[in-house]
Chain A
Amino acid sequence: MALSKDFTNTIRALGNLSAELEIIKGLTFKTVIGLDRSFSTRKSASSRDLRTNATFNKGRLYLNENQVDNRLWENYFTFKKTFGKVDVNALLGYSYQSFGNSFSNIEMTNFRTSNLDLMINNYASVDVRAGNSIVPTNSGDTKDELQSYYTRVQMGISDKYLFTATVRVDGSTRFGGNNKYGVFPAFAFKWRLIDEDFIPKNIFTDLNLRLGYGITGNQEIPYFLYLPRERYADWDINNEGNLAGGGLDRVTNENRNLKWESTAQFNAAVDFGFWNNRVTGSLDYYHKTTNDLLSLTVFAQPAPAGNAFVFRNIDADIINSGVELSLNVVAVDKADFRWNVGGNMAYNKNLVKRLDGSFDTGAINGQGLTGAFAQRIAAGQPLYAFFLRNFGGFDANGNSIYPEGDRQQFSGRSPLPKVTMGLSNDFRYKNFDMNIFFTGQFGQYIYSNTENAFFTAGALAGGRNVITKVVGNGEGLLNAPDVSTRFLQKGDFVRLQNVTLGYNMNLNNKIISSLRFYLNGQNLFVITKYDGQDPEVSVNKQINGIPSAGIDYTAYPRARTFTFGVNARF
């Protein structure tokens, strides 16, 4: 018999309307209006027969309503004209976006029935007289707005030199006072070398040089943080049937100086094609510097009661630099057989520079691990650098040895991959087609909180099951499994991400113009030495809003999916 039921119902309306008008030749005006509204309700009932503290002999019903109201209005002029050898393409625009969200939640308990349908469709089955039977959990209504002014000028000279300059002025309700707006310029230059006489056309079929520099903004922080606000906290009927919460709480602390985080990026690239474009590709170097990092930080003590955290722009630089190479090779190009190989490989180096102090993150959970963490963000280290005890095996009593002391230190390991790659093979033989796609990541490490929490001799001593590698590894039953390099593993992997085999029917049919059958498999296998479920893992283990990366904690592995399909065109 079912002891719980959970219904969600969503209605969503999406709409886009645009009008375009040519004012004079070359000058057009376009306006776009977009709407995305949705309304969803959720009713989740648990029977009074369900033996949990929250439900047994009382039942629970949660009602939830959620409304999303997102709007867009964009207006822009475009201007195109050729002046002799110079092509000009200019754009001037304005856009407005709003993101509205409202919700309301209600909680009920003390039901006189265990009939789930009745609980959901006959609210009076709750025993209101029993006291603490129904509470408004809470409701809320927020709206964020973005407003942008932008212009872009593209100029092509003799089709050889292409200059682009862009300036955006973005404004957001998430920032206060004079900092609502950020100015984000970008410049790009493309030189079509292939059109130059000194490039041998017998070798190159395409050759471009690209240079670019630009600044982009980030405003991804929660709603309305720059002024101190108070709000009544959620009510809850706790497991014992008592009312909890409901107090007037400080939900934000004041920071009127909150402003846009920005990333400056320089890149230089070469696009090339050889032998009639049988080989094409590009080589791209980039250097990104992110500063004024938006982050939750501590409010220097003594601080107001309640929430002692405040969002700030941290004065630090996070640098990502690297090289990306992509290549596409047409290996075989015959009438009834074609083989195309596409690959990309990227090397990235991440470094935190110029940061005062440090931030601990990567919470490690488990018995005897209260307050434990595995990562520290500090200057001179990559983001989310692992900060661990150096594990040196077990002593005669089976206790952990830490040759460099029972203290955490930077391990020189990072959860961020150094090299990522993708390899795609496309085959076409007569009516058959096939795609085989591999992905891989190399150089990153994974901290297994799962093993730290559950797979130790101490866990075995506590009567819990462990994995085989715990048995006979020399660990004593009384050893404390502290956070150390013992639970850090290489995360390198190659995954067969996708295989598709298709067959196109030869048709001469007036009704069906094409018909294709295909068989698709996703995530078919992973080659890795990582002994957890899946090396491509990052469970959210943030501490005080500082994000973490590369920590595995009872994560579900990625699904392996097989699809058989038919595409028909009428």
Chain B
Amino acid sequence: MVTAEPPQKAVEVLKTTETKSVEAPEAAPTGETMISVRNMDFNYGTKRALHGINMEIPSRQVTAFIGPSGCGKSTLLRCFNRINDRIAGAHISGGQVVIKGKNIYDADVDTTQLRRQVGMVFQKYNPFPKSIYENVVYGLRINGVKKKSELDEACEYALKAAALWDECKDRLKANAFGLSGGQMQRLCIARAVAVKPDVLLMDEPCSALDPIATLKVEELIVDLKKDYTVVIVTHNMQQARRVAELTAFMYLGELIEFAETDQIFGNPQQKKTEDYVRGQFS
């Protein structure tokens, strides 16, 4: 599983992609490895949360992580943009996470640069108590973009990408808290998309939404893979089947099986996977 891929010209890649154009991010050919996890161990203090994870996540596809609560799927997702660094004592204790050819846990990696390219959408929709417009352009503003035209363009692009433009274009200045739950979550997706990341991480993006809003977000996720590599953590196996090309089943901090979604649900190779997808334990 471990494909040795020397992290060549990684720094240049990180630098050159810091572009502020409005087109969708530069295409990496579909299916090429975007994130490569190599023999990774992860600890919360002395407690090991992830054991020897190995996986290759292809670009411009949707990859789903499933598994029972506490299996480490969110932890793994949060390793990809190093948001776990915030937690005291949390650290990677072995192996590598290579994104676009660069181990993101190298000392010379700037986490702010990393997170601009690896965006994240959280479980609980959490727009800022600001206008819809200000929410979407937040990421651009912290990058120092001041030009009104540039912000406007990015706002329109992101809202369109998040299928929210038609609903919101007449009330961009309205407070985001006036939106419904589903709209708020799509706004959060727009906010993440506005900075044009290469990867979009989604941590149970639909768990706080009703079924109809969930469907809309799922449609959006399928749509987004045209331009983005999407990795989604979900509790809902049906959701994984609906949106993901690849599915990873995790259990007790280990990656049990990682394969095409149809195989995981139709013809799992591991006993544990089979038990889980058949609903024999949760």
Do A and B make up one complex? Answer: no
Q: Give B contacts to A, CB under 8 Å.
A: none
